[in-house]
Structures are given as C-alpha cells and as structure tokens.
Structure 1
C-alpha cells in the first residue's frame, strides 16, 4: 500500500500524522486564509511504460486504484459501480471551434454525477474509521450521492440542506433514506456539522468552516481516478482540461492524479487545468496573484451546484501547479446557450454547471488563451435531468396542432423550419 496515513499542508508544507484534520492546516491558518491538507503516499518509480501502469492497476473500477487511495488496509470496498466513464469526442462542436474536443462524461456514474467518486472514497473511509455515520451540508448532488453510497454501506447519513431547495434534488436525497433537514442559512448548516463532528464523532463530507476549506481531504482523492482513466483512454493526453468549480475539489483532485502519474514516471508534464466559475472568486485571486481569496459579488446564476462567492486555496494550488487558466462568466445567457448547444449539437444534456465549461471555453478561445487545434477535455459533472426547471425556463412552449397533415406540415415548416416539402 502506498498511503502513509499522513497529510501535508499545500501552503506551508507542514505534515500531520492524523486522519482527523477536517478544517485545514492549523499552523498557517489566519482569519482571512486557510490552506487545505492532502494525503501523502510513498509512490513507486517506474519505467514509465503504459503496459506497466496497466499491470500495476489492473481493471477499470474503483478497486483497481485502491493502492492509490487513502486506505490503511486492502479490503473489499463498498461500490455502486463508480467510474470508468465515457470519453466522447465532440466532433461537430470541435470542427466549429477548430479544436480536438472531448467530454469526460460523469453523468454515467451511479447517481448521474461526478460526486460519486468523492463519496465512494468517503463512505469507505468512514467505515474504516468506525464512524457512527456521515454528515453533509448539501443542496443536492453531493447529498444524493452520499445518501446512495451510505445506503449501500448500511451507514447512517445526515444531510443538512437549505429550506426551499430544488424539489427534484430534495426528492433525490430523500429516497435513499438519509435524514434530510432543512435550515434557513448556510451558516446554520455548518454550525450543526461542526457540532456533530466535534462532539458526536460523525464523519464530515463537506466544508463547515470559514474561510472555506472544501470537502473532506481524504474523500477528494476519489477525483484522482479521473486522471488515471484519461491516461488509460487517451494515447496522448489533452493540452487542457476544463472543470466547472464551486470549491474546486475536482479541479484539485484531477490535478493531483496527474501529478502522481508524473511522479511515478508515466507522464512528463501535467495538462493545464482550466477552472470555470460563474462569479469568479478563484479567477480573481489567480489573476491578481493573491493567496487570499476574497468573496465576490454574485449575480443570480442558474448554475446552483457551482454558485458560490467563496473560493478555496486548493483551487489556486491546482491552477498554479499546472500553469492553468481561470475564467468567470457574466450572465445566465452564456450558460443557457451552452447547455442548449451541447444538447442540440452533440446529444449531451448536462446540468447548467457542466454546460459552463463550454461557455468558459468559448471565452478563453476569444481571448486567445486557448489556441486553435489544441486538444481539450470538458468535464461534464452531472446530468441535466437533475434540474429540468432551469432548462424549461428558456425553452419555447410546445406548439399545438390538429392531427390534419396540413396543420402538422405547417408547424414543422413555420416553427421548426424543417424541409418537409409542400
């Protein structure tokens, strides 16, 4: 096993021999700044051959990469079939944009989103720790995913949500049997989490402190597998990987996966990580070369699963480590247009946050930050069926017609502009 049982601060480099450090590094923490910690591994040096990687990590599921995950013992993992998601070429859009363009389609995971990767590791880590249960602050995707894996493991699950959350996602969280409780504010949720972690020993999945530190650092390791899968799936890795970010867990996890591939000798350099935000706190700090990420002003984004005025240090770290790019959006029209374009040109119906990757890509192309002819992967984090209300809000009403063919033809020609003849 490669996991050492230790974690290291990304900012000051201090190491801790503990598995209960959920609030970031206490050494360099201030009122305005907190750095994430990340698990450490003693990774082997290899001959760098792809065949060696396949021999070291046979298979394509979660258990194939168990040695690269933060478990102290090798045992059978609780799994719902997470990972091994499709890498799909976007040939039509790629041609229009003059790019070699792909999506890594995380909608193929058990609960239709990339959060399954985090929760597959989190639930197994909670079992290893002997925790009485797991607890989340979530408005949807993460809570539903965690509830599903907790149900599979037979582990109690509490989800603190905000009153008035998207009804579809509320149902999604409830059906797996989690104890779902709505409170009025985000701060209320975090106060409950902190009490349950500190006083009751429950295992936390999500952030519960300010400054924001992101999700459970051991659970974030699940996102590394996206990098390993891309290495398997692509003979030549992409120039850039575009990721929609809230607290940047996936952005950091994917970058760390590539960093480990480089350390083991399988790749020579880390692909550039590209972050896309609606409000842009991380982009602002990155462009201004600041370590402290100050909150910014929001504008009412429809992309609820990524919307935050806060940011995390590990997002900045991932961008710096990969010499990446960061972009923020300006309005919902960009997001809605990208969601519609992905669906109607490539058959990909993703949630608004996922669609923001295409919107951000177009902005960076226009700025010249992404060049024509580059190979780019967009991370599609979740399915659009989780929030159809947003999509329905900008689609036109369905036209009505009699069953007479003359009326049908008129609608097809006048409304849909289809070449159906006279």
Structure 2
C-alpha cells in the first residue's frame, strides 16, 4: 500500500490554472501570479485516483515514508519523524510534536524539503532561522550527507545555537535585516537549496506543508474520527495549512465525511494572518511588537494561512505572551514542557472559550528547552538539606 509518490506537479495558489512541473521546486513563489506586493505559494497536486484507501487503515508510526504516496519523493533518509502521541488533556487533546527527532514539528517539513534538495542535486541546504527550523534542517541535512548553512539572528538562545552547531552546520549569527539578502546570495551564487522564505509575503518551500499533512492523517487514526476543531500555533502558517490540506485530502478520498475548523493562533504582537482575514486580503504584512514567543513572531504572513482559516470556517485568534505563559504552566504541570510559542494553540483555545461538537485538538509544537533564557539559570545549592527542604 505504501508505494511510490503520486505527486504530479506544482500549482499556484493564486490561480489554480497556473501549473508547473514537480521539479524544480519553485522556492520563490509562483512566477506567473505573484506581484510586487503579494507572493503566491505553490501547492502540490497528486494523482488521487490511484491512492489506495487502505493507506489509512494502518496505525501511524515514525517515518513519513508511511505516507509516501501522498508526499513528494522522499529521497532523504528518515530520523524517525512523525507518529507523535495524542495526549488527552482535560477538555482537549494535545498533539505533542516535541516528540519528533529534533523536538519540534519542523522535522516533518525538513524530511520533505531536504529530500527535494537531494533530488534537485543541490550541493547543500541553507536556512534562515534562530530556532526549530534551523536545528531540524541542520539535522536532516547531516543525515542526508549535505552541508548546511544556518543564518541565525544575533539574539537567538545560546542553547539553540549549540544545538544547531552539534549537527555540523555552519552557523552564522547576523542582524535580522541582513539574513534574507544573504540567503538569496547563497542560493544564487552557491546553488544551495533554500528551505526558508524569499518573498515579500510568505511562500517558503512549496513541498514543506506536505510534510505537515501527515499530522492530519495521524489525528484521524488516533481519534478514530475527524476533530471538530484544530488550534495551531501560527507563524508563517505552513503547519496550519498543511494540517488543513491533509484533512481536505481525507475528505476528497472519501475516507471521512467532514473536515475540522482550523484556528490560527498568532502572537498579539503581530498577527499578519488575522489582519489579512479581517481585511479580506490574500496576505498581509504587519509591524511586529515585542514578544518572547519568537517561534511565532513574524511580521510577514502568507496566503496559505488565509486559505486554511477561511475555507474551514475557522478563525484567527491573537494571544498574548501572558496567555501563552499560563498555557505553558498548565501543560508543564501535566508533564508536557513546551516552548512558549508552542503553547499558542492551547492559549488560543483558552482565550476563545467555545464549545465544539466533537473532539478539539491543540497542536503543541516544540520542547521548552528552546525558550529564551533556558539554561542560563543558577539555582541554590543546599549544603545541609533537611526533609523540610525537600517537601514540595
């Protein structure tokens, strides 16, 4: 049942009639429909008529090759990504993506994106990231035998910088405004395969969200039904859209009878997708205020997030740092330590305070050790401890 990829071609999300071959991946958005103000991403089209429905009868497990017919070709070797647990958590379920190999959801994207680098014959991979994405890209590049360049911001957490370097990546800390021109130069002059955005509004890697579709497949099998709502931490919305696309495929294939409502949960310091949806725009750019949730702190939105929320009948929810901290403490007290950004889904659900007719899933994206300041604390040493000192 698993078999080869059934991916056929790329298609513009700005005009579905604008189609392109599957390779090379168009990493700078659609060349036909994008403008100087709005860049439209590419989507991947499959030969759905050839998909064996028994693909969705097997239990989910690690290794995205489990879903190979509905993914672009997986040339990069696995690190055991996917198959993450769905944890009952009071009135919701938490999909704990911190259980992936580099402790974040980004491993699903990078298994697919690094596969594209190999299939394209690129001499290496380049990524602009100060956190999960950079670490994951470095790990999958190392596993595939490719060099990686990571352009990190100067204020990224020291623990995460050490994490990046552990995989042998060339990590360079540069001012934020210089990362994107440098990324383009590395792509143009060295031929490295980019797994970061290069456009005015977000398009990113056209194959990236395909890796995230597998979360939808797993949720269906783990719950035994389609959730009523999915709350997703949202930065560039690749995760949000990927999960939505996975559920739309299940419906298209006749495996399920409905799809969930998708909720984008963005930091209130920015919220480009909330702005685009409110204004009826395909994408938007906003001014970003201060926030510690650096993993979802972006001023640039993209069309994918707008499509997922709009077409699912969902909503954009803005959450504050304090609301995410409360969600972080709530999760940690139940044994789930998440990065501040990774709690935005639960924080969004708590803010909305709404009942749904069916299961609710909050996606938690990454381990708490990646937060700002983690590892720099110093704790007192008890020279002569007593039992009173040890009682919680």
Same fold? TM cut 0.5: yes
Question: Is residue 208 of structure 2 the alignment partner of residue 219 of structure 1?
Answer: yes
Cα displacement (A) at 1:158:
0.7
Task: Tell me the residue number matched to 1:420.
Answer: none
Deviation string, structure 1 residues 86-141 (Cα, Å, up to 9, x no partner): 011003xx2xxxxxx10111111001100010111111221111111111001011
Question: Is residue 127 of structure 2 the alignment partner of residue 133 of structure 1?
Answer: no
Cα displacement (A) at 1:2:
5.0
Task: Tell me the residue number matched to 1:62.
Answer: 64
Residue from 10, 14, 17 that aligns with 1:11: 14
Could you tell me whether the CA contact under 8 Å between 1:39 and 1:217 is conserved in 2? yes
SS in 1 for 2:350: helix
Cα distance between partner residues in 1 of 2:193 and 2:262: 30
Task: Tell me the residue number matched to 1:389.
Answer: 373
* Mapping of residues 239-258 of structure 1, within 5 Å: 239-258=228-247
Question: Is residue 136 of structure 2 the alignment partner of residue 145 of structure 1?
Answer: yes
Deviation string, structure 1 residues 250-282 (Cα, Å, up to 9, x no partner): 111111111111111111222111100002111
* Mapping of residues 335-346 of structure 1, within 5 Å: 335-344=324-333, 346=334
Task: Tell me the residue number matched to 1:352.
Answer: 340
SS in 1 for 2:232: strand
Cα distance between partner residues in 2 of 1:150 and 1:113: 16
Cα distance between partner residues in 2 of 1:106 and 1:202: 28
Question: Is residue 385 of structure 2 the alignment partner of residue 403 of structure 1?
Answer: yes
Task: Tell me the residue number matched to 2:25.
Answer: 20
TM-score (norm 2): 0.91
TM-score (norm 1): 0.84
SS in 2 for 1:389: coil
SS in 1 for 2:371: helix
Residue from 255, 267, 272 that aligns with 2:261: 272
Task: Tell me the residue number matched to 2:112.
Answer: 121
* Mapping of residues 36-75 of structure 1, within 5 Å: 36-44=41-49, 51=54, 53-54=56-57, 61-71=63-73
Aligned length: 385
Cα distance between partner residues in 1 of 2:383 and 2:350: 38
Q: How has the CA–CA distance of structure 1 residues 109 and 227 changed in structure 2, closer, same or farther, with 3 Å as cutoff?
A: same
SS in 2 for 1:266: coil
Could you tell me whether the CA contact under 8 Å between 1:45 and 1:265 is conserved in 2? no
Cα distance between partner residues in 2 of 1:260 and 1:174: 38
Question: Is residue 382 of structure 2 the alignment partner of residue 378 of structure 1?
Answer: no
Could you tell me whether the CA contact under 8 Å between 2:7 and 2:69 is conserved in 1? no
Unaligned runs of 5+ in 2: none
Unaligned runs of 5+ in 1: 95-100, 417-422
SS in 2 for 1:181: strand
Cα displacement (A) at 1:180:
0.8
Residue from 301, 316, 329 that aligns with 1:326: 316
Cα displacement (A) at 1:44:
2.2
Task: Tell me the residue number matched to 1:102.
Answer: 93
Deviation string, structure 1 residues 36-61 (Cα, Å, up to 9, x no partner): 1111111127796xx56326x99653
Cα displacement (A) at 1:245:
0.8
Could you tell me whether the CA contact under 8 Å between 2:25 and 2:205 is conserved in 1? no
SS in 1 for 2:151: strand
SS in 2 for 1:284: helix
Cα displacement (A) at 1:227:
0.9
Cα distance between partner residues in 2 of 1:316 and 1:357: 17
Task: Tell me the residue number matched to 1:81.
Answer: 80
Cα displacement (A) at 1:212:
2.6
Cα distance between partner residues in 1 of 2:355 and 2:142: 46
Q: How has the CA–CA distance of structure 1 residues 172 and 246 changed in structure 2, closer, same or farther, with 3 Å as cutoff?
A: same
Poorly superposed stretches of 4+, deviation over 6 Å:
45-48, 390-393, 396-401
Q: How has the CA–CA distance of structure 1 residues 59 and 113 changed in structure 2, closer, same or farther, with 3 Å as cutoff?
A: closer
Question: Is residue 313 of structure 2 the alignment partner of residue 313 of structure 1?
Answer: no
Q: Which has the larger radius of gyration?
A: 1
